[in-house]
Chains A and B, each alone.
Chain A
Amino acid sequence: MKNVLFVITSWVFIGCIGAALLRLLLGPRGADRLTALAVISSLILALLVLYGTQEGRLLYLDVALLYDVFGFLGILAIARFFRDKESGERKL
């Protein structure tokens, strides 16, 4: 019963990740792509926590915490890189 609930929620989230991937591919500006990337990162984090709870394994939750940290740092670094690239001053 609860397994079926978790599996249905996982498939809905995977469908949303696919749709956001489409926006990531055809976003007209860089900010749209970053928005889609934030959506994908958060939904994958939710999937990791959901799967870890369903299987009852603690390893998925540790990986989810690290994924949260690195997704945040990755979006920060990508935004910084795009801003430097668009303003034309490459600081190496």
Chain B
Amino acid sequence: MMSGIIDVISIVIALLACLFAIAGTIGLFRFPDCYTRLQASSLAASTAPFTIFLLSLINAADVAQAFRILLIMVFFLISSPTTTHIISRYAWFSGIIPWTKPGDKS
């Protein structure tokens, strides 16, 4: 009974992770600017691994494995937004103007 519930939750979470990764990769190719690409790729660069961490956490075999996955999750919560901020600050200081619609004055 318990393992059946875990199986169903695992399938749902794995499908969500695949969806996030594919959507982020499509956004990496279809968006016009580096800022918009950064926004789209944060879907594949932080949401998909975090979903995979949740999948691994509910499938962990013992306590040592679960603690290591929790440690990775805590550090990933710190490092992933910092990476995005570093890249966007580099793009801003290297003089890239954010993309606007061709007829848009603002």
Contact = CB atoms under 8 A, between A and B. Distances in A.
Question: Which of B34, B61, B87, B89 gathers most chain A CB within 10 Å?
Answer: B87
A61 B48 contact: no
Interface of B: 7, 10-11, 14, 17-18, 21-22, 24-25, 28-29, 34, 37-38, 41, 44-46, 48-49, 52-53, 55-56, 59-61, 64-65, 68-69, 71-72, 75-76, 79-80, 82-84, 86-91, 93-94, 96
Given A16-B22, A39-B28, A61 B72 contact: yes
A2 interface: yes
Given A12-B21, A23-B28, A58-B65, A53 B59 contact: yes
B24 A39 contact: yes
A83 B94 contact: yes
Contacts of A83: 90, 93-94
A9 B65 CA distance: 20
Contact of B87 (A9, A20, A75): A75
11 contacts: A1-B7, A2-B7, A16-B25, A35-B28, A42-B44, A46-B48, A46-B49, A53-B61, A58-B68, A75-B87, A86-B94
A38 B71 contact: no
